[in-house]
Chain A
């Protein structure tokens, strides 16, 4: 057994940890999750394919029929324009599910524990991961907006409005990101997380103002839609899309015009994000704590 002598030329002082700032740790994890997303285009594509199918099929199949119903609420609007904000929210929903799946995979392949043994700041670890997911969601919503324009939809508020729609989509995605992470920690099982999150996806989308105006839907759906986060996300995004207050479930007159449709939705989404985010942070810190369970 050789004991290390003092004369060995190891660069000891320079060897100290250098990149241990909070943002350094965020960046390290942000890079890893982006790399994984690029490596695994399946996840990227799957969370885009379904919304794209919806966008194309709904506009082509229901466009003529639904156009009438839609026009009663917002005169002169095409079904494409009506649908695009809803699909943007759908993308946010579908992509948010993959956040929990990523966490479950990390738990299953040991990376979760491996990261806990590193000196990285644990908050930074999860901030970095979530930032990578939000970044991906922004790109996916941008793709949907581009496709919508190609199909004939119109963003009345222009480029700024488009950025706004992406921002609303991100705000919307965060509560579901938190929800899917909570599911991931509670089930610690990939299938359960996917099924649990996916089961919610369709009821949430259809029992809202996403595909048709609430006025055209049965009473019980209207009731459910009032407590459905999708309604708030879609109405806020749609208000930006058409540059009118089309928020159907909260009436405010704090501003003139469009912002009356956007701000209440955004506030509701921020509230939801804080609520679900708080639960997810609690569960995550419990799962990564060294307290004996």
Chain B
């Protein structure tokens, strides 16, 4: 990125002082026993407690309908909590909503830009809406256009943009007031790997400059790539919390995937053998689409012995692989089911274009 050095000088440093919490180790988000019940009786959030320190890249992970968007809307003052307290940048969501709005950036799940305005006009409108002083607007607009690589199309109407360009423009408009805290609600859903990697790069960059980021995602890889810390939400409750590495450790050991020839009865037989296998006393065994998967501390040591046991039982192993656990395994371990989403094709993760 040719403009990175210039940007890191001052471009998007968040305006930290505007948060009430400013102290170096304040809490960007503090949630105590948050509940939200819709009028039809649906309890979308059920007793969530969480804290996000300033400067953190925090991930909120969960399947569709788990309550991610509802939670982020409470934080962004779009929904009032049914009960519990929520403080964002030190301000109460019920009584100090406007102060929160002044100090956060919010990028909704659906791309939200005015298609009839140009990229530049969209950012300019956001500058005016957030009260960026007149004298700083022009500079801010051009900084943001270059941050999201839309300088060349600044005068084009947003309706002509690709999905990725629209998302980048949307992200830029959420940053006009240099918010110390930015909410990103599934920012990369529906994007191709190239566009996704590019967005990831921008998010890392603004986080490196000190902005706290609260990101929701249903992609485990995304959370793994970006986040310092994660909370896993399921049916409105947080079921696990920690760094990606912590969560992986909780899975307990390494994962041995075995592919087997034959139908469900073969997999059931193989699972039975694995469970009864002496070396895998505390192993978790799950049937997968193509065979079974065994998670155990000793998976690497005794994997080949299990293969031998399969051969003795006249099962045909067509492939196997021992790997460190991914967040997929974390989710499987927590919920007992696979995350209900298509796998994302991350391509070369972490690389910028």
A residues in contact (CB < 8 Å) with B: 1-4, 8-20, 24-25, 28, 31-32, 35-36, 39-40, 109-111, 113-120, 290-293
Contacts and interface: CB of A to CB of B under 8 A. Distances in A.
B56 A1 contact: yes
Contacts of B116: 35-36, 39-40
Nearest to B56: A1
Nearest to A36: B116
A9 B125 CA distance: 26
Interface in B90-109: 97-98, 101-102, 104, 106, 108
A148 B210 CA distance: 63
A270 B14 CA distance: 48
B10 interface: yes
Given A110-B110, A110-B111, A17 B102 contact: yes
Contacts, number: 131
Nearest to B15: A15
**Size class of the B contact interface (CB-based, 8 Å):** 35 or more
B245 interface: no
Closest 9 CB pairs of A and B: A110-B112, A17-B131, A4-B210, A118-B129, A119-B101, A28-B128, A114-B112, A18-B133, A19-B131
Given A28-B128, A36-B114, A117-B77, A293 B38 contact: yes
Given A4-B16, A4-B209, A119-B98, A111 B78 contact: no
Nearest to A4: B210
Given A4-B14, A111-B113, A292-B38, A18 B134 contact: yes
A12 B17 contact: yes
Contacts of A292: 36-39, 79-80, 82
17 contacts: A2-B209, A2-B210, A3-B54, A4-B209, A4-B210, A10-B178, A12-B17, A13-B17, A15-B132, A35-B117, A39-B117, A113-B108, A113-B112, A114-B173, A118-B130, A290-B79, A292-B36
Contacts of B24: 3
Contacts of B10: 8-10
B56 A17 contact: no
A32 B114 contact: yes
B326 interface: no
Contact of A291 (B80, B97, B104, B125): B80
A82 B287 CA distance: 83
Given A12-B15, A292-B39, A118 B101 contact: yes
B235 interface: no
Contacts of A116: 78
A125 to B, nearest CB: 9
A212 to B, nearest CB: 40
B198 interface: no
